[in-house]
Copies of this chain bind each other. A is one copy, B any other.
Amino acid sequence: MKNKVKFTRMEQKMTQEQLARRVRVTRQTIGLIEKGEYNPTLQLCVAIAKVLGKTLDDLFWEVE
């Protein structure tokens, strides 16, 4: 696993689409980030972290 986005999102009973809307990207983008299949930009990481009530380190640091 490359990051904790999926785990944290599900913990909060949020769908990919809801998260995507709140950070203003598409559902596909969230899906690919969760799979670790691509390399999001810092701003998007920060936006995701804020919506999920976490920090960058919580979601993206040393997860592999």
Interface of A with B (CB < 8 Å)? 39-43, 45-46, 55-57, 60-61
Contact = CB atoms under 8 A, between A and B. Distances in A.
Given A40-B41, A42-B45, A46-B61, 16 more contacts: A39-B41, A39-B42, A39-B43, A40-B42, A41-B41, A41-B42, A42-B42, A42-B60, A45-B45, A46-B60, A55-B56, A55-B61, A56-B56, A56-B57, A56-B61, A57-B57
Q: Which 5 A-B pairs have the closest CB atoms?
A: A56-B56, A57-B57, A39-B41, A39-B43, A55-B57
A51 to B, nearest CB: 15
Contacts of A43: 39
A42 B49 CA distance: 13
